[in-house]
């Protein structure tokens, strides 16, 4: 992983207080390129983190840099960053097209070029038919998409999206997720906050879990899960004759618990050492010629991690 600050988003001991209310506290992060999801309950500090990252808020303590640019230099920062913020409000009388084209003109494009570029971006988000209408008359999903269009219109290397899937219907949601995937490839940063955990799972290269203003976990989800030794990993094994395998595994130190399925066609195992567990299973298969149908962890997704780290907090 690169340690070049020009390729990272860095938080160094950042705290933000709103008067006496804690926003986030002592957050140190180094976010590499790729898709990073911010996950946490309401009020956990996700939006604060995003607002700090985009310069809308200033840290009370600490330093933040986005690809080597300080967040108190909006002129440089917002050439790098596109932000789809949470407020669902727009300048009065703005149409979809004027909303995006106006931003592109400020970015540096001529009026005609900005218009063309805005039309192209809006088209890519499926809003061409509504581009000339006032944004105030848009549905929630359309408003979400026009905000997204503005955020990506200047092709920023860093895209920050606060709850971008809110209000989108299932089709639009799938298309936007596909767009994010393409966007996240090729060395760009894409930071997304979301409550919809299975979509976070589908989308993210890494997650940052937040609770009550603190970062409670960060990294790729399997890595995070592996670190959680207090909660052994649950693995389901399905095979025609599970008893010999179960007998071999039950004696191993890494297996804490094992429970045969009622139908006799498999078992649940809990382990604190998944790699050791898989090695044991591999050895058994090779030595005893077992035929396995499934070996699959069942609680190494964001939902489970969220439940263990935040739900039980």
Q: C-beta of 108: minimal distance to another protein in Å?
A: 3
The residue among 250, 269, 251 whose CA lies nearest residue 259 is: 269
The smaller minimum CB distance to another protein, of residues 56 and 252, is found at 56
Instruction: Report the distance separating Cα 17 and Cα 22, nearest Å.
Output: 5
Q: Shortest Cβ distance from residue 242 to another protein (Å)?
A: 28
Q: Pick the closer one to another protein by CB: 176 or 200.
A: 176
**Residue 154 CB, nearest distance to another protein (Å)?**
6
Which lies closer to another protein via its Cβ, residue 141 or residue 266? Answer: 141
Of residues 30 and 124, the one with the C-beta less far from another protein: 124
Structure tokens at 253: 């130190």
Nearest Cα residue to 99 out of 109, 91, 87, 89? 91
Q: Minimum distance from CB of 225 to another protein (Å)? A: 29
Closer by beta carbon to another protein, 113 or else 247: 113
Task: Give Cα separations from 10 to 44, 60, 68, 71 (angstroms).
Answer: 19, 16, 8, 11
Q: Which is nearer to another protein, 18 or 313 (CB)?
A: 18
Backbone angles phi, psi at 8, to 5 degrees: -125, 160
**DSSP one-letter code for 32:** P
Contacts of 289 (CB under 8 A, 6+ apart): none
Q: Using CA atoms, how far apart are residues 134 and 8, in angstroms rounded to an integer?
A: 38
> 200-230 in b/e burial notation, b at 16+ Cβ within 10 A?
bbebbbbbbbbbebbbbbbbebeebbbebee
The strands making up 206-211's β-sheet, listed across from edge to edge, are: 81-84, 158-162, 189-193, 34-39, 206-211, 214-219
Q: CB 51 → another protein: shortest distance, Å?
A: 7
Which residues of this chain interact with another protein, rule CB under 8 A? 18, 51, 54-58, 74-79, 81, 83, 85, 87, 89-93, 102-103, 105-109, 113, 117, 120-121, 124-126, 134, 136-137, 150, 152-155, 172, 175-176, 178-179, 182-183
Shortest separation between residue 119's beta carbon and another protein, angstroms: 12
Are 28 and 15 in contact, with CB atoms under 8 Å apart? no
Minimum CB–partner distance for residue 113 and another protein (Å): 8
- 114 or 233: CB nearest another protein: 114
Nearest residue (CB) to another protein, 22 versus 292: 22
Beta carbons of 266 and 242 less than 8 angstroms apart: yes
Q: Cα separation of 270 and 258, whole Å? A: 6
Please report how close the Cβ of residue 140 comes to another protein at its closest, in angstroms: 13
């Amino acid at each position: 992983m690169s340690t070049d600050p020009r390729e990272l988003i860095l938080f160094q001991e950042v705290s933000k207080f709103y008067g006496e209310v804690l926003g986030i506290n002592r957050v140190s992060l180094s976010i590499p390129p790729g898709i990073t999801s911010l996950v946490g309950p309401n009020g956990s500090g996700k939006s604060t983190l995003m607002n700090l990252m985009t310069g809308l808020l200033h840290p009370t303590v600490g330093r933040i840099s986005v690809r080597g640019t300080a967040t108190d230099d909006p002129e440089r920062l917002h050439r790098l960053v596109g932000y789809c913020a949470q407020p669902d409000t727009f300048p009065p009388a703005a149409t979809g097209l004027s909303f995006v084209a106006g931003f592109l003109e400020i970015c540096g494009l001529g009026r005609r070029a900005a218009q063309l570029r805005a039309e192209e971006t809006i088209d890519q988000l499926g809003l061409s038919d509504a581009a000339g209408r006032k944004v105030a008359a848009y549905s929630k999903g359309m408003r979400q998409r026009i905000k997204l269009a503005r955020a990506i219109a200047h092709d920023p290397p860093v895209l920050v999206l606060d709850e971008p899937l809110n209000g989108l219907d299932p089709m639009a949601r799938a298309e936007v997720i596909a767009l994010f995937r393409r966007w996240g490839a090729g060395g760009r940063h894409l930071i997304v906050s979301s409550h919809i955990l299975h979509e976070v799972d589908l989308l993210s290269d890494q997650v940052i879990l937040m609770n009550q203003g603190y970062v409670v976990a960060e990294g790729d989800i399997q890595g995070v899960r592996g670190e959680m030794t207090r909660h052994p990993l649950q693995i389901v094994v399905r095979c025609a004759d599970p008893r010999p395998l179960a007998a071999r595994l039950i004696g191993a130190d890494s297996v804490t618990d094992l429970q045969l399925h009622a139908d006799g066609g498999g078992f649940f195992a809990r382990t604190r050492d998944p790699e050791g567990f898989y090695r044991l299973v591999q050895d058994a298969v090779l030595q005893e010629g077992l035929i396995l149908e499934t070996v699959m962890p069942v609680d190494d997704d964001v939902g489970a991690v969220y439940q263990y780290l935040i739900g039980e907090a």
